Amino acid sequence: MSNGVEDWRPAISRERLSARAALLARAREFFAARALLEVDTPLVVNAAVSDVHIHAAVVELAGEPAAHRRLHLHTSPEYAMKRLLAAGSGDIYQICHVVRAMESGRLHNPEFTLIEWYRLGFSLSALMDEVESLVRTLLGAAAAARASERLSYREAFLREAGLDPLTATAADLERVARPLAYSGAVASATDRDEWLELLMGTLIGPRLGHGALTFVHGYPASQAALARLDPADPRVALRFELYCDGIELANGFHELAAPSEQRARFARDSAERRRRGLPPVEPDERLLAALAAGLPDCAGVALGFDRIVMLSTGASHIEEVLPFPTSRA
């Protein structure tokens, strides 16, 4: 609730507002030097993401036909950008606001800025190289002394939790997670993936990236999302995340291009949403049609820009780098 006096003021300082603008300019220079096309896709979309861990905000447009009145604010521009790729756009990037419900905290504001880009013919390793180049470019002196580290998901769990995430039972994972009882998520975790997500979010991830830019790759196939499975080991997906100072900065995929497999994953997500009592989500038929038309071989990544600004400026809370966080928007 507004106090009517000071609540009108921005949360960000003039110095950090200037730093934010400079980092945006530096990011655009980075992509221009590599001949990526900047694109701008809709904020209001017909189809929400099906991922059970991501919650789309609903909007109703007055005056629209009933069939089109209940729409969503996008949680990522991924679906629309893949439609552009299938139509022949070539390498593309976008810097945009996205909205995710049920996400607030030191590192989370419901509305935040993503840098998302797609590279044709790139391997996951090549994309990790480019992500590291961009992050080092944006962080400047804050990254200069940092090493570069690449771990498989399995190696990260073995090192930080002493268990193998590909073979551990749900009981094994629960035993390690139970001491983390401060997290309300413990009470609702019921299967292997929920325990793995909990451990990555509260135990493993916060220990990564201290003194280094740490890439974690080879996530379990059950957490592939929109990534391909590794043909050399179908237990894992061609997916990575980047951590710095315990903060997840980026999530990248060698993109799934098979419409039948994508439809099957949508169906599995739908079943899991029902099990968890989450709102149903219809599959994005336009994305599936684009995949059927032919998505070029590509790798893509989303990078949390506000978290980059936090690391660059030494901010301890995301609200310190946003002009108007949702609490005072």
* Mean pLDDT, residues 58-87 taken together: 88
Residue 189: pLDDT band (50, 70, 90) is: low
Q: How many residues does the chain have?
A: 329
Taking residue 243's Cβ as centre, other Cβ atoms within 10 Å add up to 24
Boundaries of every domain in the chain: 14-146+211-328
Coil/strand/helix, residue 213:
strand
Give Cβ neighbours of residue 264 (< 8 Å, ≥ 6 apart). Answer: none
CA gap 224, 264 in Å, rounded: 13
CA gap 86, 101 in Å, rounded: 29
Taking residue 133's Cβ as centre, other Cβ atoms within 10 Å add up to 12
What is the DSSP code (8-state) at residue 227?
A: B
- Residues 123-171 have pLDDT tens digits of 999 999 999 999 999 999 989 999 999 999 999 999 999 999 999 998 8
CA gap 239, 254 in Å, rounded: 7
Homologous superfamily of the 14-146+211-328 domain (CATH)? Bira Bifunctional Protein; Domain 2 (3.30.930.10)
The predicted pLDDT at position 66 comes to 65
Q: Which of 41, 77, 43 is nearest to 61 (CA)?
A: 43
Which comes out higher in pLDDT, residue 239 or 60?
239
What residue type is 72 in one-letter code? H
Residue 177: pLDDT band (50, 70, 90) is: confident
The predicted pLDDT at position 182 comes to 47
Q: How far is CA 122 from the centre of its chain?
A: 19
- Residues 88-135 have pLDDT tens digits of 999 999 999 999 988 788 999 999 999 999 999 999 999 999 999 999
The predicted pLDDT at position 98 comes to 98
Asked whether residue 307 carries a pLDDT value surpassing 60, the answer given is yes
- Residues 74-84 have pLDDT tens digits of 999 999 999 99
Taking residue 42's Cβ as centre, other Cβ atoms within 10 Å add up to 12
Q: What number of CA atoms fall less than 13 Å from residue 212's CA on the CB side? A: 13
Its pTM stands at 0.93
- Residues 213-262 have pLDDT tens digits of 999 999 999 999 999 999 999 999 999 999 999 999 999 999 999 999 99
Do 222 and 193 touch, CB atoms closer than 8 A?
yes
Which comes out higher in pLDDT, residue 7 or 168?
168
CA gap 68, 18 in Å, rounded: 40
Give Cβ neighbours of residue 70 (< 8 Å, ≥ 6 apart). Answer: 58, 59, 60
Token readout for 190 is 């019921």
The predicted pLDDT at position 2 comes to 53
Do 327 and 268 touch, CB atoms closer than 8 A?
no
The predicted pLDDT at position 188 comes to 55
The predicted pLDDT at position 133 comes to 98
DSSP H helices in the chain: 14-33, 66-69, 78-86, 124-139, 141-144, 153-161, 170-177, 185-188, 192-199, 259-276, 285-294, 305-313
The predicted pLDDT at position 190 comes to 66
- Residues 19-38 have pLDDT tens digits of 999 999 999 999 999 999 99
CA gap 143, 217 in Å, rounded: 21
Q: Which of 71, 165, 105 is nearest to 316 (CA)?
A: 105
